[in-house]
Amino acid sequence: AHLDHIDAVEPDVHAFLHVARDAALATAARVDARRAAGEKLGPLAGVPIAIKDVLATLDMPSTAGSKILEGWIPPYDATVVKRIRDADLIPLGKTNMDEFAMGSSTEHSAYGPTHNPWDLDRIPGGSGGGSAAAVAAFEAPLALGSDTGGSIRQPAAVTGSVGVKPTYGGVSRYGAIALASSLDQVGPVTRTVLDAALLHDVIGGHDPLDSTSLTDAWPSMTAAAQAGLKDGALKGVRVGVIKELNGAGFQAGVKQRFEETLALLSAAGAIVSEVSAPNFEYAVSAYYLILPAEASSNLARFDSVRFGIRVNPEDGPLTSERVMAATRDAGFGDEVKRRIILGTYALSAGYYDAYYGSAQKVRTLIQRDFAAAFDQVDLLVSPTAPTTAFKFGEKMDDPMAMYLNDITTIPANLAGIPGMSLPMGLAPEDGLPVGLQVMAPARADARLYTFGAAVE
Ligand code: GLN
């Protein structure tokens, strides 16, 4: 049914870069046969799932939305992909994204944008717009995303979906094509909080193949979400409203839904108060130094030899340097080149202290803001994005406007803490979904699921 629905809506939505029809049907038949034979299967066995194209998959191309990896089929599965296969989920295919996860709209995909199922003239968010649109358009009940500065949470918000960025190190990054290694996290995109919890339990937990993977024994996120469905789950929960993430520049309908949500929280017994995070105003600036620095280094591996396409220069000798330059020139899009230049500049001798070094200090200040806030409250809330889904082209000529869209989501990545976006209704002025962002201290992901399920 999902494959047929994909066929019906993909011409409009374009959420997928690759649909694995035959493999999905074969997997489904195998799971059915085992179930019929009386085998006891896990809770998500037989459930279809869409996979962001940033994740390595053995049997499907993995392009990260870039021409430079066109047609590349990895020799291994990402750990999260292996885990969903081991739990008998059914991979449907690979979803569209901004090239190398750089963007907030999927307009930077080398394969054309994804359209928001709520309004096809609008962006589905980014970079993981394909995963969020697939879930919102009922092409898949579950999807995997990756979040470096908001790429799970913001697409979830603007498509009326649920998205979770786990604690840094909580979910393996092995086989996730790296954007900024100190910020990247893989996580679920779903229609309900309980679905996200079920998927989190499948993909989460220690992985010896990821050197930054935490060795914690994690509680069941599913049990945490179920606890939130009980009466009184919000009673006495201390909720902090971040003053700096709800002010000027936020759309009226977004603010209105947020205020109403806060009133509902108080009515349900939560203790709502305002907290201040004075260094958040520098978060976007610090992020756009740290991210390009790490990305410029990570993307050095696309050298025309080890992965993907190779392009020879039109004339002159075929030296390795000239082949590499011609390949990278043809293979990378404008946004990727912009960030490689920014990052290389920020890391150059003599500039390190002024740019990268300063940004790392700001990162520490933001971590301290969070620590101070979490001394007073259990959870922090804000709108997930300042606006609802914007129209195609609106921010394409102005990278700064595109970057500022991430002001709400970036702080959690800089601090490594978990964040969730869940729907809080539609903005009255345009009828488009608005997302509530919830953040918890590092390792307290379960708290998000209890709260999210209660609010939902
Ligand atoms: N929009 C942000 C960026 O362009 C976030 C990207 C992400 O989370 N992958 O960097």
What is the Rg, in whole angstroms, of the alpha carbon atoms belonging to the chain? 21
| Number of the ligand 1 atom closest to the C-alpha atom of 103 | 4
Cα–Cα distance for residue pair 171/207, rounded to 1 Å: 8
Q: How close is the Cα of 150 to the center of ligand 1, in Å?
A: 6
Is the ipTM of this structure higher than 0.95? yes
| Number of the ligand 1 atom closest to the C-alpha atom of 288 | 10
Cα–Cα distance for residue pair 207/297, rounded to 1 Å: 24
Structure tokens at 361: 């200090």
| Number of the ligand 1 atom closest to the C-alpha atom of 101 | 9
| Number of the ligand 1 atom closest to the C-alpha atom of 150 | 8
pLDDT by residue for the chain (456 residues), tens digit each?
999 999 999 999 999 999 999 999 999 999 999 999 999 999 999 999 999 999 999 999 999 999 999 999 999 999 999 999 999 999 999 999 999 999 999 999 999 999 999 999 999 999 999 999 999 999 999 999 999 999 999 999 999 999 999 999 999 999 999 999 999 999 999 999 999 999 999 999 999 999 999 999 999 999 999 999 999 999 999 999 999 998 778 999 999 999 999 999 999 999 999 999 999 999 999 999 999 999 999 999 999 998 889 999 999 999 999 999 999 999 999 999 999 999 999 999 889 889 999 999 999 999 999 999 999 999 999 999 999 999 999 998 888 888 888 999 999 999 999 999 999 999 999 999 999 999 999 999 999 999 999 999
Model confidence, pTM? 0.98
Tell me if residue 127 is catalytic.
yes
Closest of 68, 127, 178, 102 to residue 335, by C-alpha: 102
Closest of 101, 99, 80, 233 to residue 143, by C-alpha: 80
Q: How close is the Cα of 287 to the center of ligand 1, in Å?
A: 10
- Tell me whether strands 271-275 and 238-242 are parallel, antiparallel or unpaired: parallel
CB of 429 closer than 8 Å to CB of 436: no
Q: Which of 52, 67, 165, 395 is catalytic?
A: 52
Q: How close is the Cα of 188 to the center of ligand 1, in Å?
A: 16
3-state helix, strand, coil in the chain (%, to 5): 40, 15, 45
Which of 98, 152, 421 to mutate for ligand 1's pocket (most ligand atoms within 8 Å of CB)?
98
Contacts of 361 (CB under 8 A, 6+ apart): none
Q: Which of 66, 104, 151, 161 is catalytic?
A: 151
Which of 151, 185, 294 to mutate for ligand 1's pocket (most ligand atoms within 8 Å of CB)?
151
Q: How close is the Cα of 103 to the center of ligand 1, in Å?
A: 5
Q: Which of 62, 104, 105, 127 is catalytic?
A: 127
Tell me if residue 230 is catalytic.
no
Q: How close is the Cα of 293 to the center of ligand 1, in Å?
A: 14
Cα–Cα distance for residue pair 346/417, rounded to 1 Å: 26
Residue bearing tokens 């990402």: 78
- Pocket of ligand 1, beta carbon within 6 A: 101-104, 126-127, 147-151, 179, 291, 406
Neighbouring C-alpha atoms within 13 Å toward the C-beta of 371: 8
